[in-house]
Structure 1
Amino acid sequence: MRFELTPGKPSSVGIEVLILHGAPGSGKTTLSRGIAESLRMSKAPHAVIDLDDLSMVYPSPGRDFARQNLKAIWPNFAAIPELKVIIPSVLANADEAAQLRAAAPGSRFIVCELSAPEHILKQRVTEREPNEYWQSRLRDFVDLYHSRTDLADIRDFQVITYDRSVEEAAREVIQRAGWS
């Protein structure tokens, strides 16, 4: 199936955006790929937009840079009917969630918080990061994330990513998001 982009204002009809939100090491990027694979197998139109990739610039222009980039490319995605968009990201607060919604107008947003025990998150970031500088920064960020008191206000539902396969967690997210 191929979609042609046409000039004019995209409708965003039927576009759903799933934000995979969680601490570093919670499995956002890995699970976004697992969900995408499940959607591919069911032939559902979908896309993964990684905000980290949209902001990979040095020196960093700031957190808003990724949202500005999302807003700039959104019309291309919104032109695809019934698209399901997966965005792995850490939401800093409810305001940032609202800013993401504004960058993708007319879409239905769902926020799934991914969770695992704190010691597991720290182990995961230590194993995956290339050096002590990034390992230390992300372990500190895990601590900061777990000290937050607003997490329940931001998420629509929560999925545990510890002690289960990517496929099992992806199935649960798809089912709870109403994408099955």
Structure 2
Amino acid sequence: MDMSDTNLVLISGPVGVGKTTLGEELSGTLESAGVAHTFVDLDGLSKTYPRPEDDRFGEKIALKNLGAIWTHAFEQGVRNLIVARVIETREGAKRIEQAVGARRSVVIELGASDETLLGRVRKREIGTGRAWHERRALELSGLLKRSGIADVSVDTDRKSVQTIANDLHQQIAWL
């Protein structure tokens, strides 16, 4: 099965920026427009314990699971795939492309001010992992700004998720 005509959109950004929230909203926008698609939060596909020692963040497990999900969706005629995941390098995007057989992807990088990121993390993380998530959000924010892998950059400060999803829906050439 040749899955090279997959329209792959990768939603990236630091911890707490709203990747999953935007992916879900974009999915709803596409559904309302009658556009066949699949949305996957890649982090959810890595939730396996124990993980192999060589797969600390569960990327190998997540990509294998993503490949299986996409194979089933593709067999049903779906050609548009939206994946939410922190993507730090072009190689990270390539690994996702390879997992689903896509020729290329569009990387959408979400950004926000440090204040906004920390506020969102503090609303979401109430347990012992809060301090780690706060540090990681700020670390990734700086790293991703310098990475230059984004095809589309979106500042999420003071914008509703609906507005961002509608704007992206208009910018991306869905099949």
The two structures have a TM-score, normalised by structure 1, of: 0.85
Contact 2:13/2:144, CA 8 A, preserved across alignment: no
2:69 to 66, 73, 84: 73
The letter of the residue matching 1:106 is A
Cα gap change, 1:149/1:160 in structure 2, threshold over 3 Å: closer, same or farther?
closer
Contact 2:35/2:174, CA 8 A, preserved across alignment: no
The letter of the residue matching 2:83 is I
Which stretches of structure 1, 4 residues or more, deviate above 6 A after TM superposition? none
CA distance in 2 between partners of 1:75 and 1:138 (Å): 33
Which residue number in structure 1 is paired with residue 107 of structure 2? 111
2:7 to 16, 23, 26: 16
Which residue number in structure 1 is paired with residue 148 of structure 2? 153
Which residue number in structure 2 is paired with residue 101 of structure 1? 97
* RMSD of aligned Cα (Å): 2.0
Which residue number in structure 2 is paired with residue 43 of structure 1? 34
CA distance in 2 between partners of 1:102 and 1:60 (Å): 21
Contact 1:160/1:169, CA 8 A, preserved across alignment: no
Residue 114 of structure 1 deviates from its aligned partner by 0.6
1:27 to 18, 40, 60: 18
CA distance in 1 between partners of 2:132 and 2:165 (Å): 28
The letter of the residue matching 1:77 is A
Runs of 5+ consecutive residues of structure 1 not aligned to the other structure: 1-8
Residue 153 of structure 1 deviates from its aligned partner by 2.6
Runs of 5+ consecutive residues of structure 2 not aligned to the other structure: none
Aligned residues with identical type, % of pairs: 27
CA distance in 2 between partners of 1:77 and 1:146 (Å): 32
The two structures have a TM-score, normalised by structure 2, of: 0.87
Residue 152 of structure 1 deviates from its aligned partner by 4.7
Contact 2:63/2:96, CA 8 A, preserved across alignment: yes
CA distance in 2 between partners of 1:150 and 1:162 (Å): 15
